[in-house]
Amino acid sequence: MKRFCLVAAILLVFPVYANADVTYTVKKGDTFSAISKRHKVSVKEILKLNHLRKSAKLKTGQNLIVKRTEAEKENIQPQTYTVRKGDTIYKIAKKFKMDVDELKDINLLDSDKLKKGQKLLLVAEELPAETKQIKTTKANLDEEIKNISESEELTSLDMQERLILFSKKFLNIPYKFGGSSSMGIDCSAYVQKVYSLIGINLPRSARLQFNEGEYINKDSLSIGDLVFFRTYASFPSHVGIYLGNDLFIHASSKDKKVSIDNLSAPYYLKRFIGAKRLLFEDKEDENIRPEG
């Protein structure tokens, strides 16, 4: 019994830190400086570990992380965050040094409203295994597109056919917020890239692309029209290219890659806000073949 009490007393004085953060409960009169000296760690490190500003004030009873285990140091950025009372999307983004739009996009948020207890992803989910395998072929994409652009077969296709041909060459390219290359691309960069391959220059963002072309009713959609959605913002924040038969192709943050989806799917049906046309039939235009 005496031996057990002795071991317990030793553990109280010298706690085992192998599998957990070293924490300290703030007492009355404590300062960051005093705590840092006691645990032989800098004030800057304590602030960083607890996501606190330099101007932060200590409160009696507050729990502070004063040291991390070696395993945790390797991945200090958490994967998720549980919303607390008083949190806002802007505060959370700033706390984890993220862009607000990126945080919204990762979590498919279409408003700034948060609920206490809500779990937010701080890191985009892992790409599906099949997408990772395709990653090895991306180096060939630019070469393939170049070969198509220089081929004689392309001259026999009208503008819609060219657009769809190029748009599908990007299938399974990984989605990356803010990305604009074959290594990772977002929705507006994808649309901009595909349209540029048929000689039409578009702005970089979905919001500005919504100002281009002619408004089209949903029941009048034609192949190549741009379809727009409100996702994480009140303005047009997502865009895709209509393929016909209620299908559209886009760089999807949900699928983590360029993919084809249905406009009638509940998620897109609810968020659809309009369509714009940039390709017009003109029998005098050598790039558009007359019907029949």
Q: 3-state DSSP call for residue 63?
A: strand
The residue with tokens 């990126």 is: 102
Question: 31 Cβ partners below 8 Å, 6+ apart?
Answer: 58
**Quick one: 251 exposed, middle or buried, by C-beta within 10 A (0-12, 13-18, 19+)?**
buried
Q: Decide if 122 contacts 78 (C-beta within 8 A).
A: yes
The active-site residue, picked from 5, 39, 51, 187, is: 187
Buried b (16+ CB within 10 A) or exposed e, 96-135: eebebbbbbbbbebbeeebeeeeebebebeebeeebeebe
Rounded Cα distance, 99 and 267, in Å: 24
Question: 217 Cβ partners below 8 Å, 6+ apart?
Answer: 275
Angle among Cα 26, 7, 3 to the nearest 5 degrees reads: 150
Rounded Cα distance, 182 and 166, in Å: 13
Asked about 238 being catalytic, the answer comes back as yes
Asked about 51 being catalytic, the answer comes back as no
**Quick one: 82 exposed, middle or buried, by C-beta within 10 A (0-12, 13-18, 19+)?**
exposed
Q: Cα 28 to chain center, whole Å? A: 43
Alpha helices by DSSP H, the chain: 2-13, 32-38, 43-49, 70-73, 89-95, 100-106, 129-134, 141-149, 159-169, 187-196, 206-209, 266-271
Active site residues: 187, 238, 250
